[in-house]
A and B are shown apart, each in its own frame.
Chain A
Amino acid sequence: MAFFFEVFVSGLMVGIMYSLVALGFSLIFKASNVFNMAQGAMSLFASLALYGFLEQFFHFPFWLAFLCTVGVMTIIAYVIVFVILKPLVARPPLMLFMATFGVMYLLEGFGQSIYGTQAKGLEIGIPDNVYEVVGILISSFDLFFAGIAAALVGGLAWFFQKTRNGRALRAVSDDHEAALSVGIPLLKAWYLTWVIAGVVATVAGVAWGTRIGVQFSLSLIALKALPILIIGGIDSIPGVIIAGLIVGAGENLGEVFIGPYVGGGIQTFFPYLMALVVLYFRPYGLFGKEIVERV
Chain B
Amino acid sequence: MLSYFNGEDIAMNEKKEPLLRAENITITFGGLKALNNVSLEIYPGEIMAIIGPNGAGKTTMLNVINGFYKPDEGSIFFEGKRRSKDLKPNQIAAQGIARTFQNLALFKGMSTLGNIMVGRTMKMHSNPFSQGLYWGFSQKEEIEHRKKVEEIIDFLQIANIRRTPASMLPYGLQKRVELARALAAEPKLLLLDEPMAGMNLEEKEDIARFVLDANEELGYTIALIEHDMGVVMDICDRIVVLDFGNKIAEGTPEEVKATPEVIKAYLGTAE
Contacts and interface: CB of A to CB of B under 8 A. Distances in A.
B58 to A, nearest CB: 12
Contacts of B59: 295
A92 to B, nearest CB: 10
A292 B63 CA distance: 13
Nearest to A292: B29
Nearest to B60: A295
A292 B59 CA distance: 15
Chain B interface, DSSP helix/strand/loop, else mixed = loop
Contacts of A292: 29
B178 to A, nearest CB: 13
Interface residues of B, number: 8
A139 B161 CA distance: 70
A5 to B, nearest CB: 42
B68 interface: yes
Contacts of B29: 292
Contacts of A294: 103
A295 B68 CA distance: 9
Interface in A264-279: none
Interface in B96-120: 101-103, 105
Nearest to B101: A295
A295 B59 CA distance: 8
A91 to B, nearest CB: 12
Nearest to A92: B108
A295 B89 CA distance: 13
Contacts of B105: 295
Nearest to B69: A295
A52 B237 CA distance: 78
Interface string A278-294: 00000000000000101
Going nearest first, the 7 A-B pairs with the smallest beta carbon separation are A295-B63, A295-B68, A295-B101, A295-B59, A295-B105, A294-B103, A292-B29
Interface of A: 292, 294-295
Interface of B: 29, 59, 63, 68, 101-103, 105
8 contacts: A292-B29, A294-B103, A295-B59, A295-B63, A295-B68, A295-B101, A295-B102, A295-B105
